[in-house]
Amino acid sequence: MVCHHGAGYSGLSFACLAREVGLLSRGECGVLAIDCRGHGKTTRISDDDDNGAEIETEDLAIGILTDDLVNLISTVYPDPNSAPSLLLVGHSLGGSVSVRACPLLQERKYRITGVGVLDVVEEFTLEALPMMHSLLDARPDGFNSPEEAVEWHVMTHAIRNVESARVSIPGIIIPNPDPSSGPAYLWRTPLRLTAPYWSSWFTGLSSKFLLTRTARLLVLAGAERLDKELMIGQMQGKFQLVVLANVGHMVHEDDPGRLAEVLVEFWRRNERVVIGVKKVGEL
Amino acid sequence: MMELFKVGGSCPDTNYLFMGDFVDRGFYSVETFLLLLALKVRYPERMTLIRGNHESRQITQVYGFYDECQRKYGSSNVWRWCCEVFDYLALGAIVDGRVFCVHGGLSPNLQGIDQIRGIDRKQEVPHDGPMCDLLWSDPDDITGWGLSPRGAGFLFGADITKAFAHHNALDLIARAHQLAMEGYKLMFENLIVTVWSAPNYCYRWVPISCIPCSRTEDSSSTSCGNVASILELDEHLGQEYKVFSHAPPVSSPFVSYWLKLSVSPRMYAQYPQNVHRRTISYDSPWSCRYIHLCFFFVPIDYCSRIPSTVASAHHRLCITKVMYYY
């Protein structure tokens, strides 16, 4: 299971999910959760010591992020034939990356069991983008301690699962290089600077998702809310839809146990070979 | 659905076979299903209902029917009782021995229709197995069987369909389950048809905390823009597809609905005294369960829109039972 986090988060968002997946699959299904470009502990291999300049000029176009994922898989598993079959799971922006990476990986002969997209629907996300700025304005500039950061996320219901927040939040804050100028910890990824890329991240997501030649899973939080393209696709049986109750946008953090059940069942169903039954997307 | 009856003719003048998915994703699941039940009870030989994948406890808790029952009745009782009725619905039907009707499609575990008769259907729709497949599978342009992208059931190709039709001496397999933008879709040299009878499929997304109190332009809905159809079979099993669009919207259905529902059940007992009690005997517990639901839970404003032959019987039944309770 290759997990790609959403904008502003890190691979640690999937920590609790990874534990549950390991338990449920009895160790048969591993989890590879990455920190994508400009997030978590991923840094540029560069002679330049000036980390400040590096963050601001990070190119987070969807094509670059997709290539990053493909190149990462190619590096971790150089030989597609001996590589395990992969289940691409992406949350929000990560969903868009996973959907675009799938055909590229298949071209390179990697076996993709399925693509799981967590809580992102193209039309509604694009509609909500103008509100992102006010959302970001409502966030503090930083925190005085990791504990304070965890508390803020839990209090504002950004993450409803305290245990997961405790693990994942340290991945999204960094010590302030100039502590005298502000709070002790800053956001690892200044999301405001990524604004130029937002629209391109999600445009075309629904159609690309429906066109992937593998098993497709969409997990939504709270309500079954689909845009027209996905609704027609769902009514024609083109993908599996799971709606989880009592979770927020951070589905994988809020209820890792339930999501792990869904993902492991999805993986098992599409992974096993049944004589005489073609897999989804197989001609 | 009332538009559908206008297109096809009212029951019992026209015989109907509804192929499932009576509930979920709309604001009137309760009324739709209970009207069909009322028609079934009143004209059992003229109305046939078979089970769809949405006639299930699991699905209805996610896709709106459970929430609708909670909203309208303040408890989950009606939902629970409807689900018990769902368990009794047949999994398939045959018209004149030549047209096999099922909600979804075929199963790798079922070659003969007699095997379907042998399934113990009085249970919640399982996650897999032949009963699940009948309600979840789809025809597809593949050879043989394929795993369904839906997460349940299978895809089956022309070869499978032809073999099944030949083995069971069928001219046509009629099914539903998949949106057909033109209202119906024929496949495999007209051996199988998907019939879709919900025009301009409109997904109304309402979280449980939101009680609608006025009919404003519904921003929380997406619409497919499709037409619908019904398949009419004549006495020679000749096929005619009647295509129709959505009915014009009724103004303020919500306000009128909620006002009427807020009337206390006790007031019903003050209705005209010329109600005569009818003794109705039914010889199977299956029908009794239907009657119980029809009596108690069909919202009273619906009676004015039911064709008159049904309305009079239904209205009287409703009041009789309510008087008994209160």
List, for residues A148-202, the tens digit of each pLDDT value.
999 999 999 999 999 999 999 999 999 999 888 889 999 999 898 899 999 999 9
Supply the pLDDT for residue A51. Answer: 52
- Whether the pLDDT of residue B264 is over 50: the answer is no
- Whether the pLDDT of residue B229 is over 60: the answer is yes
- Whether the pLDDT of residue B251 is over 50: the answer is yes
Q: Note whether B149 contacts A225, CB cutoff 8 Å.
A: no
Supply the pLDDT for residue B319. Answer: 31
- What pLDDT, in 10s, does the model give residues B43-54? 999 999 999 999
Q: Tell me which range, A125-139, A216-230, B147-161, is most confidently predicted by mean pLDDT.
A: B147-161
- Whether the pLDDT of residue B19 is over 80: the answer is yes
Supply the pLDDT for residue A282. Answer: 84
A-chain CB neighbours of B151 within 8 Å are 217, 240, 242, 266, 269
- Whether the pLDDT of residue B290 is over 70: the answer is no
Supply the pLDDT for residue B203. Answer: 59
- pLDDT confidence of B25, banded at 50, 70, 90? confident
The closest CB to that of B222, out of A223, A226, A283, belongs to A226
- What pLDDT, in 10s, does the model give residues A260-275? 999 999 999 999 888 8
At B146, list the tokens: 């394929």
Q: Considering chain B, what is the average pLDDT of its residues? A: 77
Q: Note whether A276 contacts B144, CB cutoff 8 Å.
A: yes
Q: Which residues of A are catalytic?
A: 92, 119, 249
**Average pLDDT for residues A44-50, to the nearest whole number?**
64
The number of C-alpha atoms within 13 Å of A202 and in the hemisphere containing its C-beta is 22
Q: Note whether B149 contacts A238, CB cutoff 8 Å.
A: yes
Supply the pLDDT for residue B204. Answer: 57
A-chain CB neighbours of B220 within 8 Å are 225
Among residues B18, B21, B62, B4, the alpha carbon closest in space to that of B177 is found at B21
**Percent of chain B, pLDDT > 70?**
70
- pLDDT confidence of A49, banded at 50, 70, 90? low
Among residues B207, B208, B204, the alpha carbon closest in space to that of B220 is found at B204
- DSSP of A116-175, one letter per residue? EEES--HHHHHHHHHHHHHHHHTS-SEESSHHHHHHHHHHTTSS--HHHHHHHGGGGEEE
Q: Which amino acid is at A261?
A: E
Q: Which amino acid is at A249?
A: H
Supply the pLDDT for residue B277. Answer: 36
- Whether the pLDDT of residue A42 is over 80: the answer is yes
A-chain CB neighbours of B200 within 8 Å are none
ipTM above 0.85, yes or no: yes
Q: Which run of H or of E encompasses B294?
A: helix B285-297
The closest CB to that of A235, out of B144, B179, B220, belongs to B179
Q: Note whether A240 contacts B203, CB cutoff 8 Å.
A: no
B-chain CB neighbours of A238 within 8 Å are 149
How close is the nearest chain A Cα to the Cα of B226, in Å? 10
Query: What is d(CA B314, CA B41) in angstroms, rounded to the nearest whole number?
Result: 10
Supply the pLDDT for residue B258. Answer: 40
At B259, list the tokens: 């006002």
How close is the nearest chain A Cα to the Cα of B205, in Å? 6
The closest CB to that of A278, out of B142, B179, B181, belongs to B142
Supply the pLDDT for residue B297. Answer: 39
**Average pLDDT for residues B281-291, to the nearest whole number?**
36
**Average pLDDT for residues B113-131, to the nearest whole number?**
96
- Whether the pLDDT of residue B262 is over 60: the answer is no
| Interface-testing mutation among B222, B224, B226, with chain A (most A C-beta atoms within 10 A) | B222
- Whether the pLDDT of residue B102 is over 50: the answer is yes
Closest residue on chain A to B180 (Cα): A236
The verdict on B1 touching A (C-beta cutoff 8 Å) is: no
A-chain CB neighbours of B222 within 8 Å are 226-228, 231
Higher per-residue pLDDT: B87 or B256: B87
The verdict on B63 touching A (C-beta cutoff 8 Å) is: yes
Q: Note whether B205 contacts A215, CB cutoff 8 Å.
A: no
Number of H helices, E strands in chain A: 12, 10
Q: What's this model's pTM, rounded to 2 decimal places?
A: 0.84
Q: Which residue bears the tokens 């990524």?
A: A194
Supply the pLDDT for residue A50. Answer: 52
Supply the pLDDT for residue B221. Answer: 62
Supply the pLDDT for residue B325. Answer: 26
**Average pLDDT for residues A109-133, to the nearest whole number?**
94
